Amino acid sequence: MDWKRAFWAAVLIGGMATAGCGDDDAGGDVDSGVAMGDDAGTVGGEDAGGGEEDAGGPDYLCDYPAAPYGTSVGRKFEPFTLQQCDGTPYDFVNEEFCAPDHQLTLISIAAGWCNPCIVESMQLEEEINERYAGMGVRVIQIITQDPEFRAPTLEFCQQWVDRFGLTNVEVIDPDQITNIYFPDNALPSTIIVDEEGTIRYRENGASDGLISLRAKIDELLAED
């Protein structure tokens, strides 16, 4: 994390039911490519693929690993930009990711029709958000569909947040650019990414009380 400290120093100086929905098969590793979607979201920055390779890569706030990206543990996670409930774009690589005290990002992918996702969301605030507050753990929940299997709207996003009293980052993925992480609708899909952009843990299906997820977070935090 030295590069993050250096980055911010330069700035200062210069101015979550055991079974999941669908088949619980996380599948093999996928090298992610171009994500579709006009306004709702993108993967890998403004221009995620095609054309000549840009040696500089996307203009992120701080250093982030370049492609290739993957979906299995040990691979680099492909960053995204998705909309929050109020319509504001949310970049995976942002001030919170780049902060010196950031250690882990927990990503929970859910859908409104998925009962285990609902169970997990009921536990998310107390078992994850509150438990790890101030410990360098960022939590992002991504909603991919509403209860009628339709693309989620900003209104449904806010209703979801209000229903479960969530204080974590909540975004919508109407074009399902993150579906590479939940083949066969194996939701919820939970991913932990470390401060270097490496996928450290993956889980499909809601754990009872989020016990296994908390255990993994504790294990990873103890490494630093």
List the beta strands (DSSP E) in 4-77.
41-43
Least trusted range by pLDDT, from 43-47, 101-105, 194-198? 43-47
Q: Rounded to an integer, what distance in angstroms lies between the CA atom of residue 58 and that of residue 22?
A: 35
Domains and CATH numbers, the chain: 2-48+57-221 (3.40.30.10)
pLDDT of residue 185: 82
Q: Can you give the pTM of this predicted structure?
A: 0.79
- In 100-196, alpha helices (H): 115-124, 154-164
Q: What is the DSSP letter of 78?
A: P
66 contacts: CB under 8 Å, gap ≥ 6: 57
Q: Report the greatest alpha carbon distance in the chain.
A: 52
pLDDT tens for 149-190 read 999 999 999 999 999 999 999 999 999 999 999 988 889 999
Dig out the tokens for 155 from the structure: 């209104």
Question: Confidence class of residue 28 from pLDDT cuts 50, 70 and 90?
Answer: low
Rg over CA atoms, the chain: 17
Query: Does the pLDDT at position 65 exceed 90?
Result: yes
State the pLDDT confidence band at 64, using cuts at 50, 70 and 90. very high
Q: Which residues of 11-49 are buried (b: 16+ CB within 10 A; e: fewer)?
A: eeeeebbeebbbeeebeeebebeebebeebbbbbbeebe
Give the C-alpha separation, 90 to 80, whole Å: 8
User: Average model confidence (pLDDT) for the chain?
Assistant: 83
Cα–Cα dist 127/150, whole Å: 29
User: What is the spatial distance between Cα 45 and Cα 78, in angstroms, rounded to a whole number?
Assistant: 9
For residue 169, what is the enclosing H or E element?
Answer: strand 169-172
Name residue, tokens 């200062």. 12
